[in-house]
Amino acid sequence: FGGQIVSCEPLSGAFAELSHRAARDDQWIAVNTAVGSETGSATINVSENSFSSSIRDMTDAHLDTAPGSRYIATETVPVTTVRELVTDHVIDVSRTLLKIDTQGFEGEVLRGAGDLVGQMGAIQIELSFVELYEGQLLFDELVAGLAEEGYRLQQLEPGISDRDGRLLQVDGLFVRRSDD
């Protein structure tokens, strides 16, 4: 990929690794922040496996499936919005893939984008069938909301399943519907 990439990572340890990788590409910008519905700060729960870290509290359904995801610490992190990132980095939203990997905070990220959501070229988002993080939006709500914004579901990629094989989460790729 030869275009600009703006990656946000709130955790200090993961951000150090991201920054190191991004330094090899002049078009890749790493920002040490969480993304949500408004700017400010938040306390993020740091997971033992790192990638399950979330501003939201984890549910028993998640812990039962992935015991190594338990929280071991917290960090206070800055929070920005998609709208602010678009403005700060002069992003052409019509040619942008917005990838949301926020462990139950997807609704807040979309709210922080406001009307830019319907203008994004594509959106990739985690979709949970059961509540893995307290208060998160689930599959049906997110799919319906993105459809209302003019997107169609292009592709699903399996995520995590419980011990019985029940699919708990997928990644969904949504593209703007064309009028033709």
* Averaged pLDDT, 112-127: 97
pLDDT > 90 fraction of the chain, expressed in percent and rounded = 94
pTM of the model: 0.94
Taking Cα atoms as reference points, which of 34, 46, 42 lies closest to residue 85? 34
Residue identified by tokens 């990572």 is 9
Name the average pLDDT for the chain.
95
Spatial separation of the C-alpha atoms in residues 107 and 82, rounded to whole Å: 12
pLDDT confidence tier of residue 180, bands split at 50, 70 and 90: very low
Q: What is the per-residue pLDDT across 32-63, written as a single tens digit (0 to 9) for each? A: 999 999 999 999 999 999 889 999 999 999 99
Spatial separation of the C-alpha atoms in residues 62 and 71, rounded to whole Å: 12
Chain length of the chain = 180
| 53 DSSP 8-state letter | -
| 145 DSSP 8-state letter | H
